Amino acid sequence: MEPGICYIKPEYLISEANGGGQTTSNDGDSNKRKHEEEADAQNETGNKRGGGKKERKRGQNKNRPVFKDERFSHLCHSLIDGPGGETCTLANCRYVHDLDAYLAAKGEDLGNECYVYATKGYCGRGVTCRFAKSHTDAQGRNMRGKDYDEQKPLTTCNGISAELQVRLRKHDYDFSRSKEVIKQAEKLRDERKQQAKEKAETAEEEPRQADVEPAIGSAIDDSPSGRDAPRKPVIDFREKLVLSPLTTVGNLPFRRICKEFGADITCGEMACAVPLLKGLGQEWALTKRHETEDIFGVQVCGNNPNVITQAAQVLHETARVDYIDLNIGCPIDLIYQQGGGSALMRRTNILELAVRSCAALSDKLPFTVKMRTGVYADKSVAHELLPLVEEWGASAVTLHGRSREQRYTKSANWTYIEQCAAQAKHMPVIGNGDILSYEDYVERRALAPHVNSVMIGRGALIKPWIFEEIKQQKIWSPTSTQRFEMLRRYCNYGLEHWGSDTKGVESTRRFLLEWQSFLYRYIPEELQLSPPQKINSRPQKYRGRDEMETLMSSSNAADWVKLSEMLLGPVPQGFSFVPKHKANAF
């Protein structure tokens, strides 16, 4: 059998006679080539390199269309609860004040029940809700349910308050703590450099005595973040299933789904330090946390230790977070070229200051680091960095078994992950890469016995129930009905999170479609010739056991839109969708 192909049982294969292209049990290679050519044609045309060979597209679809709907015009908040509400007092209010015209443009309701109203007893979107008839009276006024408790705590926290936003924008926030720990970190770094210099000079004169020579970084042993200091007891990162921080698709509704399936630790999408310090609402939205996320962290990205430390300080002081993670593995070109993400693996002086200072901010705030094997495929450096990061005070390190250069094109190197994990003295090491089944989990843990926990990213996007499989130690193969109900829950959570008005519905649809660009890759075990499915394998052309399963397996974005319409109603006129990631735009 050809590698990289998931072979399907003959009875589920689609033959050329059925209009699906020629796919039999021994033509996987031709099907794979056809699959790749379709991906190239759909993503970008005419892009060629040496010899006229088409380049396989990777990274982002940066030129994907941005859909704008005029119905997104906001109704003035004074009219949210319907006729007879407050009077708008703003002289230059830019929102809509003609309630009848707004309601006419809003269109028909998408359903008879508003999930937000049904679960909370009140829908804050009022008459703008696309399910408003379920909670408006005969006069069109927004109602509150009998059991609605206005004093009940919100189910979602974090984000940014208006007061904090003003303080950050006026540079009125007190960052004296950050400045102090940065000074201490610079002093310790300079001491380490001086010590290393003296050791190098001494080594030229006397034989090195390994049993008495202090380790690099021992100058910080007396500090709270030193390598021999007790580990911070706030979170035990050992033997946990961690959901990876996933840009775009790792949003709050998706994390709720993963928590329901057994994820132990969740982390928000990567937030850039500079926009956080500027008080940008869109960046602070990435810090939001649902009440079901009992262990929750925020991942930050930056290229300057002062900025990273200040972002960590303001998160610690104003948000409910259990830990902060520093991303030094992000492969995105823009981040890398600015010296952030995986570029920090080469800028060790900057990295040392960032880790030392953030780890020293608070004994109650664990600071962790997520890295790759290195920048280049043929030059791994994580085995050198990981012990240093521990000495600098990190509470845990996650190691993704690929380099920046490899992105996701090669299998994760768990042998190397084990080599690195074995060097940690006290710090937990979390392994990450290519886990899509319980069998993958068992195999990787056997390969890397020094790895304390496992982080799952793409595997959770394709099979969010993977956490449950691992905990129950058996494969679960949900029916198409069960998978559709999972999507329904996701949409409900999306309407609760992004809003049930037109803008919220379309935001939920967009994120659902981005997730579906991963979900369609799941192949039910009963259809596979030799399960379990491997994460980088692609299937032969196949049909499901019923129409819904076939629709869910489609690689055509138009079919993903059909699924969204079953859950969120018809798409607006002129709607189009191209996945953010080229690898998913088959």
- List the catalytic residue out of 76, 330, 358, 420: 330
Q: For residue 108, count other CB atoms closer than 10 A to its CB.
A: 8
Closest residue by Cα to residue 358 from 184, 234, 174, 216: 184
For residue 452, give Cα distances in angstroms to 398, 417, 444.
10, 11, 11
Q: Give dist(CA 494, CA 73) in Å, integer.
A: 20
In sequence order, what DSSP letters do the residues of 558-574 get, joined into one string?
A: HHHHHHHHHHH-PPPTT
Of the candidates 572, 559, 442, which has an alpha carbon nearest to the alpha carbon of residue 506?
Answer: 572
Instruction: Give me the long-range contacts of 460-463 (CB less than 8 A, separation at least 24).
Output: 460/243, 460/244, 460/246, 460/258, 460/263, 461/246, 461/249, 461/515, 461/518, 461/519, 462/436, 462/518, 462/519, 462/521, 462/522, 462/535, 463/436, 463/437, 463/522
Q: Indicate the DSSP class of residue 75.
A: B
* Contact in structure between 463 and 268 (CB atoms under 8 Å): no
Query: Is 114 tagged catalytic?
Result: no
364: left (phi over 0), alpha (psi -120 to 50) or beta: alpha
Contacts of 274 by beta carbon, 8 Å cutoff, 6+ apart: 302, 307
Q: Are 331 and 338 in contact (CB under 8 A)?
A: no
- Residue 325, classed as helix, strand or coil, is strand
Q: What's CA 20's distance to the chain center, in Å?
A: 34
Residues 540/546, Cβ–Cβ less than 8 Å = no
Integer Cα distance of 275 and 257 in angstroms: 28
207 by Cβ neighbours in 10 Å (0-12 / 13-18 / 19+) ranks as exposed
Strands (E), 169-237: none
> Which single residue is written with the structure tokens 């937000």?
116
Q: Position 491: which residue type?
A: C
How many Cβ atoms sit within 10 Å of the Cβ of residue 53? 8
Cβ atoms of 270 and 286 closer than 8 Å:
yes
- Contacts for 482 with CB less than 8 Å, ≥ 6 apart: none
DSSP state letter for 58: -
Q: Omega before 253 cis (within 30°)?
A: no
- Tell me which residues are annotated as active site: 330
